[in-house]
Amino acid sequence: MSFPKNFLWGAATSAHQVEGNNHNDWTEWEKLGKVKHGERSGLAVGHYSRFAEDIAIAKSLGHTAYRFSIEWSRVMPNPGVIDEQEIDHYRQVIAACRAHGLEPIVTLWHFTNPLWIDARGGWRSRATVDAFGEYVSVIMQTLGRDITYWITINEPTVYSSLSYLVGYWPPEKKDPIAAWIVIRNLLSAHKLAAGIIHRLNPHAKVGTANNLSDFVASRPDNILDRTLVPFAKYWHNAWWLDATNETVDFIGLNYYFHHPLRFKVSGWRNWFAPHHPEDKSISDLGWPIVPDGLGTLLRWLPRYRRPIIVTENGLADADDHQRGRFITDHVSQIESVIADGIDVRGYLHWSLLDNFEWREGFEPRFGLIAVDYHTFARTPRHSAQTYKNIIQRGTTSG
């Protein structure tokens, strides 16, 4: 294996999915019984109190980086109110990463909003952009000197689409105009945050985590299928990258989906419904496993002339039958593109821990580390050892 020296090997989490006891717009929505089986995030997997244990396990598995998010609703529970105790909590998380030799990669916004932001209209309101800037300033002034890698916004196109276009996530809107306003406000928030970060820490590296899909025509000979592909690639993959490229130091790539698109005439919302071939392996959530798609995206991204970090890549696999091969095959794609001169600087598996998977609840198991939801006992899966072996070989080669 051939990887650059200082290549970042690790895994990722997000605050709401693992911490427990959050109070934000998602927890309010969960009370309405919208999550599968009526579940609520509740204590999640107790990472808030067990972060030191979890980071130590990550170290034992060979990781050199840990991506986590700061929960805005904890740090600023009310307008203009800063909870110093919560700031100190995240300071301890960063210190634990440093103590174990893991590079902290901090996400500032991973889908959840404080209740007071939600009450003001959430991301439909331009005031949320300014409030986000205040939040980022607080984080930079208190924690900024200790962090090199910052992710301002996680998967903006996913959030704007699922929350405001198809109505699958809160606030369950089906309004294209609202979706456009939200994505534009997220763009403004990113640019504002990037400027604040670069001003207060000139050595910081700023990026966004972008859910990019490998779109292809389901029926290559069908002109309508072929016509959908460039349209989907632009709006889902390229638009945000084009708009942010001058403000980022690296591109974060979240890769989960290979989408063979098939045109349907049953309404515009179904135009992009993927057609899943029966000959592909699938995860527990029915997502096709196509490692080649990662290679395709990595070979497309150099047009932006920025280093790339794979900030998420994983699958739901409760029995752990596929995860080891999944990691091996996706890392092989990264190795291949690096050999061709493409600047990829890290791979962060999703997820470090089993977690609360948004509307799907606790059933999908994404973790390298299995969590007993009754006792919170942690048990690294066999695939975690497979990943450790890959890291050891990659580190040695670097």
Spans of all domains in the chain: 8-215+249-255+283-397
pLDDT at 136: 98
Q: What is the pLDDT of residue 259?
A: 92
Tokens of 297: 């995206």
Helix (H, G, I), strand (E, B) or coil at 55: helix
**Per-residue H/E/C for 179-222:** HHHHHHHHHHHHHHHHHHHHHHCCCCEEEEEEECCEEEECCCCC
pLDDT over 90 percentage in the chain: 93
* Rounded Cα–Cα distance for residues 200 and 272 (Å): 42
- Bond before 4 cis per omega within 30 degrees: no
* Model confidence at 1: pLDDT above 90: no
Asked whether the predicted pLDDT for residue 363 surpasses 70, the reply is: yes
Identify which of 31, 35, 113, 105 has the alpha carbon closest to the alpha carbon of residue 74. 113
Percentage of residues in the chain having pLDDT higher than 70: 95
Cβ-proximal residues to 215 (8 Å cutoff; 6+ apart), any chain: 228, 229, 232, 233, 236, 237, 259, 261
Residue with tokens 């071939």: 277
The band of 2, judged by pLDDT with boundaries at 50, 70 and 90, is confident
For the chain, the maximum distance between any two Cα atoms, rounded to a whole number of angstroms, is 60
Q: Which of 83-87, 258-262, 313-317, 359-363 has the weakest average pLDDT? A: 258-262
pLDDT of residue 264: 76
Q: How far apart are CA 348 and CA 318, in angstroms?
A: 19
Give residue 398's pLDDT band: very low, low, confident or very high (50, 70, 90). low
- 42 pLDDT more than 60: yes
Please write the tens of the pLDDT for every residue from 117-134.
Answer: 999 999 999 999 999 999
- Domain covering 8-215+249-255+283-397 in this structure, CATH number: 3.20.20.80
Q: What is the pLDDT averaged over residues 310-336?
A: 98
pLDDT at 271: 47
**Rounded to two decimals, what is the model's pTM?**
0.96
pLDDT band at 268 (very low <50, low <70, confident <90, very high): very low
In order of 2, 9, 275, 308, 368, the CA distances from 58 in angstroms are 22, 10, 37, 22, 9
Token reading at 318? 């409760």
Where in the sequence numbering do the catalytic residues fall? 155
pLDDT at 34: 96
Contacts for 365 with CB less than 8 Å, ≥ 6 apart: 284, 316, 317, 318, 354
| β-strands 214-217, 149-154 pairing | unpaired
Sole residue written with tokens 């109070």? 23
Confidence class for position 263, pLDDT limits 50, 70, 90: confident
Q: Which two tokens stand for residue 326?
A: 């999944």
Contact call for residues 109 and 60 (beta carbons, < 8 A) = no
**pLDDT surpasses 60 at 276:** no
